[in-house]
Amino acid sequence: MSNGFDVQQAAVVGAGTMGRGIVISLASAGIPVLWLDASAPMVTAGLKMAADTWAHQVVKGRISEAQAEQNLARIRAVDSYAELADVDLVIEAVYENLELKQEIFRTLDNALKPRAILASNTSALDVDAIAAVTRRPQQVLGLHFFSPAHIMKLLEIVRAKQTSPAVLETARQLGERLGKVAVVAGNCRGFIGNRMLKTYADEARKMLLEGALAQQVDVALQAFGFAMGPFRMYDVVGVDLEWRARQLAGQGMHSPLVQVDNALCELGRFGQKAGRGYYQYAEGSREAVHDPDVDRLIVQIAEGLGYQRRTLSDEEIVERSLLALVNEGAKILEENIAANSHDVDRVYLNGYGFPAAVGGPLSWADGQGLASIQARLQRLQGTHGAHWQSAPLIARLVAAGKGFAAVQEGRV
Ligand code: NAD
């Protein structure tokens, strides 16, 4: 294993939701941070949020007043890239837009000392395309924190094509220092977690059109043990995030799967923050309350798209949701995006509210037996179409009488 090096001074570019959590996480771990945003008031608001977070921790008895002061003193707002010249690591957390991130990485590459590591907190963009605009692609990687970044345990370390082993090791050590569960992921759209989430959420959206309602899907999955069903989750993160991204990209608006989301957003039902989304919320409350208007909207959209709605059982909802995760997880393993099934499970347990008692989607599948999983996928393919075709790895493992746990670096 390569030796990493100690990050003695870091910088964060971006002071929105993620930048704030990342800065709090770094400063709490004793790492001095320089903080830059195109909008100075965002940094001012970020500093206030950091101070409030630590003040709250003092009240709770988790840290002393002196520690809170030291944490805050580790953060310095700056207003030029030239001031970042000596940092060992910068984490970029600006809007999710490739051209914007490339422009910032070009600037960082010119401004920072040659040894510095450049990381992006992108949720799904191509890290190779970001690295390619720099003269130091071996020192570029993804550091994908989860929201809120100072609380969520998971850190996906995204290995780009040229990221050096020493840089990956430095990132692993940093993850440990921040108290995170760090998992190395290969570079593909959505990495491990968001790639699996997309398949799972798309299946939930299909079930809505076929005959389920949002609350039924959520309740069924929560009864299985998920911290939150997919539609509750969309309300928490904001139904509008993906809607805005679709608009910005000028694509994906017309897929039947997103018609309910589109309609909700057009009604201003952006989720919990708007008081209305898939559910309704009383002023200032996080309690999701069933809204019959949303049921009516779902039925109307599904029928408008030509669906003959039917009753779906809770068993079918859970089965299709889990098998969607397992099949995508198998592809991720096969493509060596994750080194082993344990890493896939750690991502899902620590970042996506998968029930800990079940042990993660791939260990659940191993428990069911892969021959059974394969037969169930084949059945789904017969009734619901080609997207259920099982990952070739599953057939290989069944033939070898093995489970996902036997796979290392893409090989059985
Ligand atoms: P945000 O909109 O809350 O904040 C983005 C910040 O970037 C704003 O403060 C804005 O002023 C700043 N900014 C924009 N252009 C800039 C520029 N040229 N130079 C400097 N600052 C600039 O966004 P966010 O939710 O914090 O997301 C940031 C990144 O993290 C995105 O890539 C996103 O995909 C990723 N991410 C978000 C989440 C989440 O749940 N919000 C989770 C994981 C990863």
- DSSP state, residue 390: P
Which CATH number fits the domain that encloses residue 145? 3.40.50.720
Q: Is residue 70 located within the same domain as residue 152?
A: yes
Query: Is residue 224 one of the residues assigned to a domain?
Result: yes
- Nearest C-alpha to atom 3 of ligand 1 is from which residue? 16
245 plus 174 within the same structural domain: no
**Do 222 and 330 have their domain in common?**
no
Query: What are the CA-CA distances from residue 351 to residues 124, 132, 181, 303 (Å)?
Result: 15, 29, 9, 35
Pair (299, 325) in one structural domain? no
Q: Are residues 158 and 251 in the same domain?
A: no
Asked whether 110 lines ligand 1 (CB < 6 A), one says: no
Most informative mutation of 18, 25, 79, 180 for ligand 1 (most atoms within 8 A of CB): 18
Domain end residue (candidates: 304, 325, 357): 304
Residue 196 lies in a domain: no
The whole-number pLDDT of residue 2 equals: 65
Å from CA of 18 to ligand 1 middle: 6
DSSP-derived secondary structure letter, 79: S
Q: Which domain holds residue 339?
A: 314-406
Q: Which atom of ligand 1 is nearest to the CA of 36?
A: 20
* Closest ligand 1 atom, residue 96 Cα: 32
Q: Domains in the chain: how many in total? A: 3
Query: Which is the catalytic residue, given 56, 144, 150, 254?
Result: 144
Contact criterion met (CB below 8 Å) for 134 and 146 = no
Catalytic annotation present for 144: yes
In a domain, 163, yes or no: yes
> Would you call 40 helix, strand, or coil by DSSP?
helix
**pTM for this predicted structure:** 0.95
Centre of ligand 1 from the C-alpha of residue 245, in Å: 13
Q: Are residues 269 and 347 in the same domain?
A: no
Rounded CA-CA distance 310/328 in Å is 26
CA distances from 217 to 90, 103, 319 (A): 40, 41, 11
* 2 belongs to a structural domain: no
Mean pLDDT by 10 residues, the chain (412 residues): 83 97 98 98 97 98 98 98 98 94 98 98 96 98 97 97 97 98 97 97 98 98 97 96 88 94 98 97 94 98 98 98 98 97 98 95 98 98 96 97 92 82
Residue 203 lies in a domain: no
| Whole-number pLDDT of residue 1 | 53
Quick one: which atom of ligand 1 is closest to the CA of 103?
A: 18
Q: Quick check: is 68 in a domain?
A: yes
Shared domain for 164 and 239, answered yes or no, is no
Which residue among 44, 123, 241 has the greatest number of ligand 1 atoms within 8 angstroms of its CB, and so is best to mutate? 123
Q: How far apart are CA 138 and CA 167, in angstroms?
A: 8
- Of 186, 202, 222, the residue at which a domain comes to its end is 186
Return d(Cα 43, Cα 254) in angstroms, integer: 37
Q: Does the residue 194 lie in any domain? A: no
Q: Any idea what DSSP says for residue 311?
A: P
Looking at the fold, whether 152 and 15 belong to one and the same domain comes out as yes
Backbone angles phi, psi at 405, to 5 degrees: -60, -20
User: Are residues 177 and 97 part of one domain?
Assistant: yes
Beta carbon of 13 within 6 Å of any ligand 1 atom: yes
Inter-axis angle of helices 292-304 and 214-224, nearest 10: 110
d(CA 155, CA 184): 9
* Ligand 1 centroid from CA 15, angstroms: 7
Give the integer Cα–Cα distance in Å for 237 and 194: 13
What are the φ/ψ torsions at residue 186 (nearest 5 degrees)?
Answer: -75, 170
How many Å lie between the centroid of ligand 1 and the Cα of residue 20? 10
What whole-number distance in Å separates Cα of residue 191 and Cα of residue 182? 13
User: Nearest C-alpha to atom 25 of ligand 1 is from which residue?
Assistant: 17
Whether residue 261 is found in the same domain as residue 345: no
Diameter of the chain by CA atoms?
A: 64
Cβ–ligand 1 contact at 373 (below 6 Å) = no
For residues 235 and 266, state if they share a domain.
Answer: yes
Q: Could you tell me if residue 238 is inside a domain?
A: yes
Quick one: pLDDT at residue 412? Answer: 82
109 C-beta closer than 6 A to ligand 1: no
Q: Where does residue 332 rank: exposed (0-12), middle (13-18), buried (19+ CB within 10 A)?
A: buried
Please tell me the distance between residue 97's alpha carbon and the centre of ligand 1 in angstroms: 9
Judge contact between 140 and 130, C-beta under 8 A: yes
d(CA 199, CA 408): 23
Give the closest residue to 274 by CA, choosing from 292, 259, 258, 288.
288
Cβ atoms 11, 36 nearer than 8 A: yes
Q: Where a domain ends, among 281, 304, 327?
A: 304
Same domain, 236 and 90: no
Cβ(194) – ligand 1 distance below 6 Å: no
| CATH number of the domain encompassing residue 294 | 1.10.1040.50
Locate the ligand 1 atom nearest the alpha carbon of residue 145 and give its number: 43
